[in-house]
Structure 1
């Protein structure tokens, strides 16, 4: 099968049963719809929020088939009914009906006039159905009328009470009219219900239409450039061998090609490493291998890509949190597989270093554990082609070696083709062949990231120049306290970080590093002990300790660089001088301030996050895996910048990392975490192991 750039087009509408991505979208939107309905029913005076429940359902109807909306309605309605009763169920159903109407109208390119007409008609239909229902079930009608009358009498009583005050004396007549006129109005209940149905559905539809239009406008400006395109195979699945001939790819709106021209071939059972600097097109190559058509050139395969299908193509992306969908580890491994697939979950988890974690909540996994889980889920498909995009970037060194060994053996034993995108020299050397990408083409001698042994641990309480700034005294933390799923992340941590200090914290995945970082930033309250900044609880000074998360993209909330820095640092957006100064501080050109966030490379995203944090002038800066996914030059530049800031500006830095090369100047102190506790520094007699 040959695939050329001219074949590029939209993904066809699918027939048949729901696919994994549809199930995932339905589950998320059902949860949003149910949560909105429950709040609207349970919280007093919050009924108006039910209008917002139409937005997630509208998004489903706009992007997916009707059956996806129906599945979300059933799931969300069930949850709302169990928690908030019949009112919650009907709120979800109404939201799905109105939202579905809006989504279909929006997808067909119609406007406000169409939604107004259709909502009036829908209100009339609902009104007629409601009248018919109450005519058939007169006892329910009497109960509803009695309840409504009681509510009106209650309002009249409140008006009577307030009318005793001189300022509200006019309310006495209001109370009298409520008591005398309401029974007369109720006698015309069919007209009342018909009019109320039209008014309520039309008003909710217009509010939801306004909100949905704004959401879709905002989403349209966020290009999902790394989206994997799923297409139902119309031919046998056979992704390898694959051959690229003069392939180029350019994203919509871009001024130049992101990749190409590239000519390469990957054979069955071959282990190929793809290397190159940030921005050289490695992830774009991954998208083309996983089925996205090129804009020029040809891609030849014997059959269909079979993305996510058994025996087809499996992809493990850089940020595993974006592809972990199950709430339980074991469920995520088999998510999307057909019933009765017969996957040995425990064996797969053991292979990737997650032995015994099948029942764990995926929300409590570390970044490295999430990457291992994503690999296990990919292997459960028994793929013919496995594409691994920086799968070890957040895995500790011991786990990194074990994971690469597992992947290499699978490639040899199962005739599975493995394409591994990496920056690490030792990982590339384990491949049968290395393809180096530079500037969209291919070349040799790309500088790679070398690994280094962990530096020797120092005492957490070692005195040094500078006054104590951040102090942890007996800090411990337990997740799920009092529940069967309780787990201890930290225990008895004593640590002093002095002003101007540079501290490296390392340990295996799951040792508690990120939990410790969140506690030091004041974002998490320790279960035991205390964390103090200048002698006061750091939780009372959120923002004084800045933290850069593992995944920089998840921390960037605005669409453009200058907007992001202004928002993160609390700067006046129109004071361009401060934004330019913040960019210069992290070595970025002022022109980048006008670029969209999604147009930046991984290294640039990390620098933008850092610019926003540094412009706030924090007392302490915590960097969680700052080197993950960066090429050698980007790592060297970032570490040089931070070392200069610490040396010249007195910045206090805490770095959490599995990568140690080049950290000597930035972090002269080193702490080793194991099983949630700080390991003591080796004595002279013990030596450094």
Structure 2
């Protein structure tokens, strides 16, 4: 979350010190809510304001509502400010209707009002009255459209509502001008001067009759100015409202079609029932998401005892995340879940969840703040001890924005442990972390049940992580899908054995990049990077979190222009040839913008989705059956999503393909299949492949060259062949 969002949270949540409940998106438990940081060491947290669940329509704003309002307020304020301070950018103010429309569509009116107040204050302080009015206009159009859409009404309701709003606003303006006589005379004098000037110009071009009519009609308008202004504002607001409804309602309609399959709400009565999430027993539990044709979690029976460390493994699509949701309180479709008490999601001695994307769980701007964020009154926490336990000793005063991915993940774990949970669920927490951070997290998790009175359920693909548990539960349907991902030693920087003898495809010459250059927040990401990738070459670039790998990938793809040096493709800068180098993002789901597989592939490749043969051919290249063309994107496994992304990219015939963490979150079978696919494309079609990854096992054939990136600088290469020492079983 950026600094804008933090400031909005501070503005919205100053007096609301309750606990975060469940986030309605992505199945995540939000970090604790606003709490005074107190002193470092032992911290006493002030009393919270009573909170209720997001589904309640009355009472004070809930933590989830505050979080949504703060983020949307930040977006609305930014668009309003940019539209004012950037020349010829007034049209960007229309983008501010999107976040306000989403708030009105999904939440009660009070949430929209809170966001409008926060965004309006920020916009006024930075951009003056113009920014403030931009926020007000966005709130009106977005609010009207969202509320009408949520209530299932249509255009007639918009017309009636906008007529009432126009009459009210017009009457208010007429009343203001009637009371402020001097201001009215000044405005009318300016308008008269403008009309006189226009009439004089028309007379010079021999339009004397039209000029006389203009002056006469304007004089009549001034005589009846209250009625003219009332009609003007009413008509204008109706037209603007209809335009906003026409554009924004279509976006909201698309949002309705996006399934919120990972939503977590605390069960009814959970706020008053005694907390007791363990021991928990699942008996013949199944789960099927609404509208799905098959179960996401097939029948499973298991028990988790107090203080037990259980590893959950299985292939992509076997139901690991769905099982996490059931353990965290979601009701199964069938079967029974037995607990001694309530789940206590996010509460003291209840259930805590740590997910694979720590950025979504860290809200505090300071490390110590985030640890205690949202704890109830009277809770005393030894922050320094918790930070030492997770390997963040001495970082209590650090800005969370300066932490690496591994450090953020450990901070999320510390915040979860601050609740003294009886059940801690860690869902693939090492997936997006480099090897050093992965080892540190595993060291914390492996002995956690001995240091705390907590049961640990660890969902993982990695064999060494599962081996540290007391027992392992495999959700795969067959032994063929039960392979675990092996870990590998970090490969040494190396060049390929033997010269490919091909012409250079990508050339980086003295490339450096500095974010926010020339500002007090300047940060150097890359320094003097120089290397050549030949046509048909395979290169592995590795390095720790924060080493600059993703920045380098965006520069090679032409999506970022380096602040120093140049990146060339066939002798021309890559930023002048966007699309010639294809880039596959870390999170494949974020790159899939359409609802169905065929629509996604066709849109990415630039042909019609009705061209079924081309869609089938694109899917065949990446090893997917043509029957998947009509499947919803959200029904695909992680491995299938990555292949769909590749299908669209490869159908564009790129000169080179860059894959940023392509193996993250994939089981062993999916990893092997993806690597075999890429090896075949490189060998048979001469595709140039650059892989940026923390995972090295099995990369030897695909990437005979290895480059090591540390702190934004390339390390010297040895003359031995690259490759990791491990492999995937």
TM-score (norm 2): 0.84
**Alpha-carbon separation, structure 1, partners of 2:202 and 2:75:** 40
Deviations along 1:438-478, one digit per CA (max 9) or x if unpaired, are 24xx9899211111112232149995432222111222222
Aligned match of 2:591: 555
**Contact (CA 8 Å) 2:481, 2:669: kept in 1 or not?**
no
**Alpha-carbon separation, structure 1, partners of 2:649 and 2:369:** 37
Correspondence 1:420 to 2:449: no
Paired residues for 1:48-59 under 5 Å = 53-59=96-102
**Alpha-carbon separation, structure 2, partners of 1:207 and 1:507:** 49
**Contact (CA 8 Å) 2:310, 2:456: kept in 1 or not?**
yes
**Contact (CA 8 Å) 2:407, 2:437: kept in 1 or not?**
no
Aligned match of 2:273: 235
Q: Cα offset for 1:100?
A: 3.3
Q: Cα offset for 1:347?
A: 6.4
Higher relative contact order (CA 8 A, sep 6+): 2
Aligned match of 1:157: 197
Correspondence 1:581 to 2:624: no
Correspondence 1:270 to 2:308: yes
Q: Cα offset for 1:210?
A: 2.8
Do the aligned partners of residues 596 and 90 (structure 1) sit closer, same or farther apart at CA in structure 2, a change above 3 Å counting? same
Aligned match of 1:504: 540
Aligned match of 1:131: 174
Deviations along 1:314-357, one digit per CA (max 9) or x if unpaired, are 22334445545567766665665669977677766665556659
**Alpha-carbon separation, structure 2, partners of 1:49 and 1:492:** 37
SS at match of 1:500: coil
Aligned match of 1:451: 487
**Contact (CA 8 Å) 1:275, 1:434: kept in 2 or not?**
yes
Aligned match of 2:428: 390
Aligned counterpart for 2:521 among listed residues 476, 485, 497: 485
**Alpha-carbon separation, structure 1, partners of 2:527 and 2:87:** 42
**Alpha-carbon separation, structure 2, partners of 1:352 and 1:483:** 34
**Contact (CA 8 Å) 1:59, 1:212: kept in 2 or not?**
no
**Contact (CA 8 Å) 2:386, 2:414: kept in 1 or not?**
yes
Paired residues for 1:276-295 under 5 Å = 276-295=314-333
Q: Cα offset for 1:415?
A: 1.2
Q: Cα offset for 1:160?
A: 4.8
SS at match of 2:447: helix
**Alpha-carbon separation, structure 1, partners of 2:67 and 2:467:** 37
**Alpha-carbon separation, structure 2, partners of 1:349 and 1:193:** 63
Aligned match of 1:188: 224
Paired residues for 1:618-629 under 5 Å = 618-629=654-665
Aligned counterpart for 1:93 among listed residues 130, 136, 158: 136
Paired residues for 1:198-237 under 5 Å = 198-230=234-266, 233-237=271-275
Aligned match of 1:4: none
Do the aligned partners of residues 173 and 462 (structure 1) sit closer, same or farther apart at CA in structure 2, a change above 3 Å counting? farther
Structure 2: tracts of 5 or more residues without a match: 1-52
**Contact (CA 8 Å) 1:349, 1:358: kept in 2 or not?**
no
**Contact (CA 8 Å) 1:55, 1:208: kept in 2 or not?**
no
Q: Cα offset for 1:550?
A: 0.8
**Alpha-carbon separation, structure 2, partners of 1:50 and 1:496:** 44
SS at match of 2:457: strand
Q: Cα offset for 1:248?
A: 1.0
**Alpha-carbon separation, structure 2, partners of 1:269 and 1:190:** 75
Deviations along 1:561-606, one digit per CA (max 9) or x if unpaired, are 1111112122333322222111001000011111111111100011
Do the aligned partners of residues 334 and 610 (structure 1) sit closer, same or farther apart at CA in structure 2, a change above 3 Å counting? farther
Aligned counterpart for 2:340 among listed residues 302, 308, 312: 302
**Alpha-carbon separation, structure 2, partners of 1:320 and 1:460:** 36
Correspondence 1:112 to 2:161: no
Q: Cα offset for 1:221?
A: 1.4
SS at match of 1:573: coil
Correspondence 1:33 to 2:76: yes
Aligned match of 1:257: 295
**Alpha-carbon separation, structure 1, partners of 2:88 and 2:578:** 32
Aligned match of 1:6: none
Aligned counterpart for 1:69 among listed residues 103, 112, 131: 112
**Contact (CA 8 Å) 2:597, 2:628: kept in 1 or not?**
yes
Q: Cα offset for 1:234?
A: 3.2
**Alpha-carbon separation, structure 1, partners of 2:241 and 2:544:** 52
Aligned counterpart for 1:531 among listed residues 535, 555, 567: 567
Correspondence 1:408 to 2:451: no
Do the aligned partners of residues 75 and 619 (structure 1) sit closer, same or farther apart at CA in structure 2, a change above 3 Å counting? same
SS at match of 2:475: strand
Aligned counterpart for 1:671 among listed residues 698, 702, 707: 707
**Alpha-carbon separation, structure 2, partners of 1:27 and 1:272:** 37
Do the aligned partners of residues 196 and 162 (structure 1) sit closer, same or farther apart at CA in structure 2, a change above 3 Å counting? closer
The worse-fitting range, judged by mean Cα deviation, of 76-85 and 330-339 is 330-339
**Contact (CA 8 Å) 2:54, 2:62: kept in 1 or not?**
no
**Contact (CA 8 Å) 1:505, 1:655: kept in 2 or not?**
yes
**Contact (CA 8 Å) 1:52, 1:208: kept in 2 or not?**
no
Aligned match of 1:23: 66
Correspondence 1:648 to 2:684: yes
**Contact (CA 8 Å) 1:371, 1:394: kept in 2 or not?**
no
Deviations along 1:195-234, one digit per CA (max 9) or x if unpaired, are 2332233223323333342122101211121233356723
Do the aligned partners of residues 532 and 95 (structure 1) sit closer, same or farther apart at CA in structure 2, a change above 3 Å counting? closer
SS at match of 1:438: coil
Correspondence 1:614 to 2:650: yes
**Contact (CA 8 Å) 1:58, 1:212: kept in 2 or not?**
yes
**Contact (CA 8 Å) 1:62, 1:104: kept in 2 or not?**
yes
Correspondence 1:601 to 2:637: yes
Paired residues for 1:437-476 under 5 Å = 437-439=475-477, 446-459=482-495, 463-476=499-512
Do the aligned partners of residues 56 and 491 (structure 1) sit closer, same or farther apart at CA in structure 2, a change above 3 Å counting? closer
Do the aligned partners of residues 338 and 54 (structure 1) sit closer, same or farther apart at CA in structure 2, a change above 3 Å counting? farther
**Contact (CA 8 Å) 1:55, 1:211: kept in 2 or not?**
no
**Contact (CA 8 Å) 2:400, 2:408: kept in 1 or not?**
no
Equivalent pairs, count: 667
**Contact (CA 8 Å) 1:505, 1:513: kept in 2 or not?**
yes
Aligned match of 1:7: none
TM-score (norm 1): 0.88
**Alpha-carbon separation, structure 2, partners of 1:617 and 1:645:** 12
**Contact (CA 8 Å) 1:461, 1:496: kept in 2 or not?**
no
**Alpha-carbon separation, structure 2, partners of 1:555 and 1:344:** 41
Q: Cα offset for 1:425?
A: 0.5
Aligned match of 1:245: 283
